[in-house]
Amino acid sequence: MELTFSGAALQILQSTGFSAINSGQVIMLGVACVLLYLAIWKKFEPLLLLPIGFGCLMANLPMSMMMSTDDGGLLNFFYQGVKYEILPPLIFLGVGALTDFGPLLANPTTLLLGAAAQIGVYTTLVGAVYLGFDLQEASAIGIIGGADGPTSIFIASKLAPHLLAPIAVAAYSYMSLVPLIQPPIMRWLTTGKERKIKMAQLKPISQTVKIVFPIVVTIICCLMLPAVTPLLGMLMLGNLFRESGVTARLHETSETHLINIVTILLALAVGSSMTAESFLKLETIKIIVLGLLAFCMATAGGVLFGKLMSKLSGGKVNPLIGSAGVSAVPMAARVSQKVGAEEDHTNFLLMHAMGPNVAGVIGSAVAAGVFLSLFGDPTAPGPESHAAIESVVQSMVQR
Amino acid sequence: MELTFSGAALQILQSTGFSAINSGQVIMLGVACVLLYLAIWKKFEPLLLLPIGFGCLMANLPMSMMMSTDDGGLLNFFYQGVKYEILPPLIFLGVGALTDFGPLLANPTTLLLGAAAQIGVYTTLVGAVYLGFDLQEASAIGIIGGADGPTSIFIASKLAPHLLAPIAVAAYSYMSLVPLIQPPIMRWLTTGKERKIKMAQLKPISQTVKIVFPIVVTIICCLMLPAVTPLLGMLMLGNLFRESGVTARLHETSETHLINIVTILLALAVGSSMTAESFLKLETIKIIVLGLLAFCMATAGGVLFGKLMSKLSGGKVNPLIGSAGVSAVPMAARVSQKVGAEEDHTNFLLMHAMGPNVAGVIGSAVAAGVFLSLFGDPTAPGPESHAAIESVVQSMVQR
Amino acid sequence: MELTFSGAALQILQSTGFSAINSGQVIMLGVACVLLYLAIWKKFEPLLLLPIGFGCLMANLPMSMMMSTDDGGLLNFFYQGVKYEILPPLIFLGVGALTDFGPLLANPTTLLLGAAAQIGVYTTLVGAVYLGFDLQEASAIGIIGGADGPTSIFIASKLAPHLLAPIAVAAYSYMSLVPLIQPPIMRWLTTGKERKIKMAQLKPISQTVKIVFPIVVTIICCLMLPAVTPLLGMLMLGNLFRESGVTARLHETSETHLINIVTILLALAVGSSMTAESFLKLETIKIIVLGLLAFCMATAGGVLFGKLMSKLSGGKVNPLIGSAGVSAVPMAARVSQKVGAEEDHTNFLLMHAMGPNVAGVIGSAVAAGVFLSLFGDPTAPGPESHAAIESVVQSMVQR
Amino acid sequence: MNDALLTSITVSGIAILVIFLVLTILIFTIKLLVHLLPYKAPPPQPRKAQQPPAPQNAPSDVDTDIAVITSVMASHLSRTPGNHQVINVQSR
Amino acid sequence: MNDALLTSITVSGIAILVIFLVLTILIFTIKLLVHLLPYKAPPPQPRKAQQPPAPQNAPSDVDTDIAVITSVMASHLSRTPGNHQVINVQSR
Amino acid sequence: MNDALLTSITVSGIAILVIFLVLTILIFTIKLLVHLLPYKAPPPQPRKAQQPPAPQNAPSDVDTDIAVITSVMASHLSRTPGNHQVINVQSR
Ligand code: NA
Ligand code: NA
Ligand code: NA
């Protein structure tokens, strides 16, 4: 009996995670702790990075059945919501309910700044192809420059699911670093005189325009880029809940408990996909470098286009608001305000920067739509239309 | 290169929705905008019609993959909650949590008014058969007269899923029109003297009765009509959360964020089923006409039975409260109050009308149960019992 | 016509539940009413027992399609969340968000009291085997002594799904009876002098320790007992939402509407599994007796270990706080306080008892992990490790 | 009149009968319930205003509340519970 | 420069054009909307302070509110609605 | 005593050992944590009451707050931000 007892205890010991853990998992546990540290003590997008980090922690405890690939595991269930692209659109419903498009409507030309900031997406696309990624992977990496977590997750899960984990982590990490990354670029590309430009007061907008806007955006953008409807349509529905004034209940739920529940599920699912095999590889480092490039180029693109608008308008536009075009609402707009106030503390750019800031959300959704049109699943946007595009792309590749 | 560039751009253009849109979709986009207009500016049941309209809008943007029939599409996922009858019972849980059955308990004979108002269901059933619908379709159309959105959706998804979209839209639209449809009928069928009848004060009800009531209703009604248990049982569970006084947490969640989340999913799912093929057909017009008939007959049935009760009780019942038996809580009760106050502004019928009003909810659930017993899926309420009913119905048909 | 009319009515009558109801269902309806009575008027864990009782009521209305085994029925959908172990971990997320581990951190040796109270689990295990249950069933029954509803449901659905209903009902019922069951045992096992011991003031704990604690517990416990990660990991994630101070939104949702929604679904699912076949059998009575034994032994184990700690510490520990080690937060801690105050009303044991009380939650999760390691599904914690354990257990059995 | 129409009328007739039957049973059940469990007016509210001064009412609950508050305060102030005393707690 | 790189540059060019095209269309749509539906300053707030004294404004809504309150109070006080009267209700 | 009973006792023994082992490891981990990260009493509250008068503390945050408020007010009043000035903002 003594023998069996100690033998059984030995067996129990062998069945613990200690016996099965490998070096990759140990490193990933370290990565998880770094993410938790950044989320809690550095306040890097804690609403996402804390549950992502904890999901990563649980997924890398051996035999815990918490990896996104463990059939029947708890986080595998949540991961279905990422795989089938259900959770990111629900996040966007909440984002729409939280977003005020008023400043954009008061100065619609700032939409161009939201477009210009997408330049970061495309330089990164080219850079990623140069580093050996294929076009679909490169698109998913490029969209990090759009500075929109849900959009990045949506596109990655569609075009490059094997890169989902590093792309999501890079997107949210760099969004948190916006206050560090952007100011030097902004100062370097603008003159003191430009930074001192004061912009004219925004005109008030009628509530009817605010109500009609989400409907019109949905019709126009989703007609032109049908594949982006789940993201952009839900964003605009959330905004319609907000502005219509007749659906206060749905508005409140969308922007509080619904987005919170979906955030918990989404972030745990993303974390559960951070396995050693998917994360500890050269690609991750490339993605981190490319992500930084994407953010820098997006900022530069926005600021340079801002300078152009400043010139063309005869000095009525402060180019500093261009950097807000990356989205990362409302941090990027606060950075514009802060850099402007350094030069002249009576200059209030915040409201003006909110226009390009929310334009950046629409801009990266549109950029995502272009990628989905070009590289999306053939069954998704109608087989015949896709075949047509494919032939074009192939003809370009074979040239 | 120039050539390929422009060629590719042309291809992109051809892959947009503009190239694929057909006239049916254009008309449905118009229908969606009409629904949004009615919801936002005319305040027609905006909590439902706004997301239904927006779901319809997204579903009819070509290649957006937002139709209820697009496998793997976002709204197709939500639609599963309608198809498998999960969402309507959860709505009813919230409705139960929001409903005070006190006025009904204080004057239980008003339950008969909730029964009488179902006459609209049956005249419409006969009318629908006359217009060429089969018995199952006619039942689903008739239930519009019950003036209960979730019940209509539940029955339609079970008996006539191909008619779900027009039935749901008709049900919610006419519920919003109750203040316009009912008053002329009420005035036409009653005399000034009847409208002036003041009713005796309602007696207070002990809390114990309020707690026991939902349990007893579930046992009695669901024993008699088992197929209605998902609807009626969940309604009564919500009410038990409310009245028991020991489940405040569950009560609060049921009547706020849970019902809100489910409403968003349900309404988007219903909207996504509003495709040109399912909506732009003669049947829709017939359903709209029959729905109006159903509401008018339900109102008339309630008022006429109210007159009968008034006679039998020796003038203690104001027949105007009969129209509240259609449900459409609390609008129909307010209409009773308003028409009564037109005749004598010191006459307060509101509380008295709340009795038949909530009775109408139970009444249409019971009516739904009868239809499900007669025409429901053979596997659902036990094969042998169904076979028995089928033989009766067939014998009636073959006669 | 007359004839067919009455014939049809007869058929309708035969299709009601009255014709199909059997004696088992009648008894179960009575059981459901008893549960509702205990929940509403005796306030026995009403948040769980009220919806469990109502689910039982609906499931036992014949042909209502509300049994957990009715494919396609409403409650069958909710039951999937129990079967696939999704709902209990989400409950634990909320429990973690509601729990303050501060008193435990201030006096970590009280963790041993949470371990000692698990003695109830094991005496019950032996007792259950003695009464004829197999090892898996006996483990699931034993865990009732852990006084944790979600843990009991989690283990039962994994090791003995056919006993889920009586185990869940016994667990929640006895948790409500803690204030009746524990005091006599506590008084019997302690001397008046012991009950008068005043404990030293708890030292304050830095917030950093409170943040690091859930992370460290997850790593240590889930490395040693991987199978318990869904429960313990989610518990600790909820606590991290609470203590990190950077995820207030997620914390609020976890401890309110998310746990409420999951509670409704879980409790209805458990209720729906209370069919006559699964509940009205000798095993249920055995389980009820064994459950009482489990609670008594757990209380005794905690108190006796408390006496040991009292001796070893030179009278610094009041053994009354040992009984709080069963979990049943915060009732068991209040019982410790109350029994202590009976002896000396200036003795405040409540905060000291909160330590073993939350330790009991961790303790029964760990106990659950041991069972899952030993008897869990072979595919779950890695096939090779399980095979090793199986051989040990079989060698023990065959001896 | 065709067969389908006749059937629909028959079905309607049966259904109306069933509805009235079910709801009539409900009416009598409610009347029975109200008869068995009559409403009792709650004791007049003013009397409650006089209760707080009398501390002996419901001693167990108040005692627990005091214990909770004392412990938490002691923990918060880093002092021994004996050092201060919570005299009375009024429920909301 | 290899083919893949050339393709990626082509794709980028097309994509940037599409984005600017879509957002430019949006800009003109917004300008059109703002032009068609101009902002109208709400009537000055102070005037509103003078409204409550005039009870004839929006009689239907206030009437319904009074009816609701009267009924509920009557029900609560167990009295006939005629026994008391709610004179006026001010909206928030 | 039969085999199953013996097995159950063995299992119980092992399980109790494992539980005490795991929780003992936890105890020492907690003691280590508490030792490494000791509680530091927060600086006394009264000192905070003296802080607001000194506006140079945390200028960046207050500056941002002022900027936000000024912009929003300007937008609301339809005036240029320069026309009015927000002097100081006290955090809650
Ligand atoms: Na962006
Ligand atoms: Na009705
Ligand atoms: Na426990």
Q: Minimal Cα distance from C353: which residue of D? A: D71
Q: Tell me: do D34 and D68 sit in the same domain.
A: no
Question: Which among F10, F17, F78 has the least Cβ separation from residue A201?
Answer: F78
Question: Which among C218, C246, C370 has the least Cβ separation from residue A39?
Answer: C246
The DSSP string of A171-202 is: HHHHHHHHHHHHHHHHHHHS-HHHHTPPPPPP
pTM over 0.90: no
Q: Tell me: do E5 and E35 sit in the same domain.
A: yes
Residue B199 scores a pLDDT above 70? yes
Amino acid A66: pLDDT: 94
Domain contains E52: no
Q: Minimal Cα distance from C386: which residue of A? A: A15
Domain contains E64: yes
- Whole-number Å distance, alpha carbon F16 to ligand 3 midpoint, is 14
Q: In Å, how far is C348's CA from the nearest CA of chain A? A: 35
Residue B2 scores a pLDDT above 90? no
* Side-chain half-sphere exposure of B49, counting CA atoms within 13 A: 29
Q: Is the peptide bond before B381 cis (omega within 30 degrees of 0)?
A: no
Question: Which among A204, A206, A216 has the least Cβ separation from residue E29?
Answer: A216
CA A189 from chain centre, in angstroms, equals 25
Q: What is the mean pLDDT of residues A117-144?
A: 92
Give the ipTM: 0.87
In this complex, do B348 and E63 lie within 8 Å of one another by their Cβ atoms?
A: no
- Whole-number Å distance, alpha carbon A362 to ligand 1 midpoint, is 7
Q: Minimal Cα distance from B131: which residue of D? A: D5
Any idea of the CA torsion for C27, C33, C34, C38, to the nearest 10 degrees? 160
Q: List the domain boundaries for chain C.
A: 40-61+76-398
Q: Residues 8-67, chain E: which have Cβ within 8 Å of B?
A: 10, 13-14, 17-18, 60, 63-64, 67
The DSSP string of C289-305 is: HHHHHHHHHHHHHHHHH
Domain contains E77: yes
In this complex, do B16 and A226 lie within 8 Å of one another by their Cβ atoms?
A: yes
Residues near A211 by beta carbon (within 8 Å), at least 6 away in sequence = A240, A243, A244, A245, B40
Structural domain boundaries, residue E64: 59-92
Question: Which among C14, C64, C264 has the least Cβ separation from residue B250?
Answer: C264
Map residue B73 onto helix, strand or coil: coil
For residue A188 the two structure tokens come to 């370097």
Length of chain C: 399
Question: Which among B12, B47, B57 has the least Cβ separation from residue A250?
Answer: B47
C-alpha to C-alpha distance for C145 and C159, rounded to whole angstroms = 16
- Whole-number Å distance, alpha carbon A124 to ligand 1 midpoint, is 14
* Contact yes or no, F with B (3+ CB pairs under 8 Å): no
In this complex, do A348 and F81 lie within 8 Å of one another by their Cβ atoms?
A: yes
In this complex, do C399 and F9 lie within 8 Å of one another by their Cβ atoms?
A: no
Domain contains E47: no
For residue B290 the two structure tokens come to 């029959």
Amino acid E82: pLDDT: 46
Contact C246, A46 (CB under 8 A): yes
With contact defined as 3+ CB pairs under 8 Å, the chains touching A are B, C, E, F
Q: In Å, how far is B364's CA from the nearest CA of chain D? A: 9
In this complex, do B247 and C50 lie within 8 Å of one another by their Cβ atoms?
A: yes
Ligand nearest to the CA of B142: 2
Type of residue at B170: A
Question: Which among E11, E25, E37 has the least Cβ separation from residue A220?
Answer: E25
Q: In Å, how far is A240's CA from the nearest CA of chain B? A: 9
Q: In Å, how far is B380's CA from the nearest CA of chain D? A: 20
C-alpha to C-alpha distance for A81 and C151, rounded to whole angstroms = 26
Average pLDDT over all residues of chain A: 88
Buried b (16+ CB within 10 A) or exposed e, F73-89: ebbeeeeebeeeeeeee
Ligand nearest to the CA of C149: 3
Ligand nearest to the CA of B171: 2
- Whole-number Å distance, alpha carbon B146 to ligand 2 midpoint, is 4
Question: Which among D14, D60, D79 has the least Cβ separation from residue C201?
Answer: D79
Per-residue model confidence as pLDDT tens digits over D34-76: 999 998 877 765 544 444 443 443 344 555 555 555 555 555 4
Amino acid C10: pLDDT: 65
Helix axes C229-244, A46-59, angle to 10 degrees: 150
CA C75 from chain centre, in angstroms, equals 21
- Whole-number Å distance, alpha carbon A345 to ligand 1 midpoint, is 28
Residues near A329 by beta carbon (within 8 Å), at least 6 away in sequence = A99, A354, A357, A358, A360, A361
Question: Which among B109, B122, B134 has the least Cβ separation from residue D15?
Answer: B122
For residue A230 the two structure tokens come to 């789940």
Q: In Å, how far is D20's CA from the nearest CA of chain C? A: 13
Amino acid A252: pLDDT: 96
C-alpha to C-alpha distance for B8 and A384, rounded to whole angstroms = 15
Per-residue model confidence as pLDDT tens digits over E22-75: 999 999 999 999 999 998 877 765 544 444 443 443 344 555 555 555 555 555
Which has more confidence, C82 or B9?
A: C82
C-alpha to C-alpha distance for C93 and C95, rounded to whole angstroms = 6
Q: In Å, how far is E44's CA from the nearest CA of chain A? A: 15
Domain contains D35: yes
- Whole-number Å distance, alpha carbon B243 to ligand 2 midpoint, is 22
pLDDT band at E2 (very low <50, low <70, confident <90, very high): confident
Domain contains D44: no
Average pLDDT over all residues of chain B: 88
Per-residue model confidence as pLDDT tens digits over B69-124: 999 899 999 999 999 999 999 999 999 999 999 999 999 999 999 999 999 999 99
- Whole-number Å distance, alpha carbon A149 to ligand 1 midpoint, is 9
Amino acid D30: pLDDT: 94
For the ranges A296-310, B19-33, B376-390, C33-47, the lowest mean pLDDT is seen at: B376-390
CB pairs under 8 A between A and B: 140
Where is C177: in which H helix or E strand? helix C164-189
Q: Tell me: do F63 and F33 sit in the same domain.
A: no
pLDDT band at F14 (very low <50, low <70, confident <90, very high): confident
Question: Number of folded domains in chain D?
Answer: 2
- Whole-number Å distance, alpha carbon A219 to ligand 2 midpoint, is 37
Average pLDDT per run of 10 along chain C, which is 399 residues long?
Answer: 55 74 93 96 93 96 92 94 94 95 92 92 93 92 89 93 92 90 94 90 90 96 91 96 96 96 96 92 92 92 94 91 89 92 89 92 91 68 42 48
In this complex, do A12 and F70 lie within 8 Å of one another by their Cβ atoms?
A: no
In this complex, do B367 and D15 lie within 8 Å of one another by their Cβ atoms?
A: yes
In this complex, do A63 and C385 lie within 8 Å of one another by their Cβ atoms?
A: yes
- Whole-number Å distance, alpha carbon A360 to ligand 1 midpoint, is 4
* Contact yes or no, E with C (3+ CB pairs under 8 Å): no
With contact defined as 3+ CB pairs under 8 Å, the chains touching C are A, B, D, F
With contact defined as 3+ CB pairs under 8 Å, the chains touching D are B, C
Residue B353 scores a pLDDT above 90? yes
- Whole-number Å distance, alpha carbon A104 to ligand 1 midpoint, is 14
In this complex, do A249 and B264 lie within 8 Å of one another by their Cβ atoms?
A: no
